[in-house]
Structure 1
Amino acid sequence: MATGPRYFVPFRRRHEGKTDYYKRMALLSSGTPRMVVRKTNRQIIVQLIVPEIEGDRTLVAAYSTELVKYGYKGSTSCTPAAYLTGMLFAVKALNAGYDEAILDIGLARAKPGARVFAALKGAVDAGLDVPHGESVLPDEDRLKGAHIAGYAPERAGDLVENVEAVAQAIKKELV
């Protein structure tokens, strides 16, 4: 192990691969609340977070497991679920009085059409002001679940109609 006055021990979360502090500092210096999108194996989580001295504070949160209350029947970790979760998050944020955010995808890979960008598209479609480029957003067929119905019609069932019905039910909650 290196020693001496020039040796720098990295931060624990950087060493564990959980935080990129350079990107985090750039996001925090904007002063705008962050729309944090995280994906797990079973769900999509979208939160509106502001930094404070004691630690980050969550203002609004939406989980893809909440979509069942609106009649969603598909998987809670797929692209249509991410889109609907982003839409639900935006409705909650707008009802709470927040109308803008910047996207924070953490260590997720920024690949065009990814689930994190599906959540962004849902938030933008619901009316939240998030700066983005159109080239990274997934196409409408993927957001509605047509790609799932194409390769697994027995599992998808009426997923496309279900996604559209849930999107309409979520938009009704916008005050």
Structure 2
Amino acid sequence: MATGPRYRIAFRRRREGKTNYRRRKAFVLSGLPRFVVRRTLKRVIAQVIKAEIVGDRVLVSADSAELARQYDWLGNCSNLPASYLTGLLCGLKALASGVKEAVLDIGLQSPTRGARLFATLKGALDAGIMIPHDENVLPSEKRIHGEHIVAYAKQLAASPEVYQTRFSELLSRGLPPENITEHFLSVKEKIVSSFREEKASKEKRVKVKPKAKSHKKITRKATAKPKRRVSTRKKREIEK
């Protein structure tokens, strides 16, 4: 281990590969909430987080597992179309809670052009959230719609054994990989329409405030001061 006056030990979370403190400082100074994207082998997670003195506060969050639970998504929950839908879902939730602008936070993940991280960003942008970005890093519409999956499935159709092995999960759910583009568009429409209906129902609940009734000023009538009671003893003295 290196020693000496010039040797510095990094902060614990930097050593663990969790926090880039230089970037974190820039995020805090921006004053904007962070659009945080994290991915695992099976899921994609998007959150809108606001930094506060007491700690970070999660305003809204979306998980790609929600797509299967609430919106009948039959595809893989960690592929590129699912990443886009997760970003779209998180962006619509953020708009509903009043967040209109944010900055992208990908942590210590390597930024690769057209990757799942930027597909999630594209979903949030399409939802209406303003996030500074470079257009060159976003994936194409064809890849977002899953057309590369369709092309790969057609390529493997010649060898049925390999086709069954590669797409066993999709086929077990009743979704042929050739239909993933249509399925993606139907789930996207379902997500957008659910928030549209929710917004319309909220507007109906808002009632117009009735005009305040004019009340006449009630004045108390001047009443005579109550007579002081005179004791019977004093009365007798007065009579004498």
Equivalent position of 1:59 in the other structure: 59
Q: Distance in 2 between matches of 1:103 and 1:134?
A: 14
Distance in 2 between residues matched to 1:2 and 1:112, nearest whole Å? 37
Q: CA deviation at 1:57?
A: 1.1
Q: Match of 1:161?
A: 182
What are structure 2's unaligned runs of at least 5 residues?
155-162, 168-176, 200-240
Q: Which AA in structure 1 matches 2:181? A: V
How does 1:15-164 map onto structure 2 within 5 Å? 15-68=15-68, 69-153=70-154, 155=167, 156-164=177-185
Secondary structure (helix, strand or coil) at the match of 2:18 reads coil
SS of aligned partner of 1:152: helix
What is the rounded CA distance, in whole Å, between the counterparts of 2:151 and 2:142 in structure 1? 10
How many angstroms does 1:170 deviate by? 1.0
- Cα deviation, residue 3, structure 1: 4.5
Shift of 1:157: 3.8
2:52 counterpart SS class: coil
Q: Between Structure 1 and Structure 2, how many residues are aligned?
A: 175
Give percent identity, aligned residues only: 51
Deviation string, structure 1 residues 49-94 (Cα, Å, up to 9, x no partner): 0112232111100000000121211000000000000000011111
Q: TM-score, normalised by structure 1?
A: 0.94
Structure whose alpha-carbon radius of gyration is higher: 2
In structure 2, the partner of 1:170 is 191
| TM-score, normalisation: structure 2 | 0.69
Code of the aligned partner of 2:24: R
Structure 1 vs Structure 2 CA RMSD: 1.5
Gap regions ≥5 residues in structure 1:
none
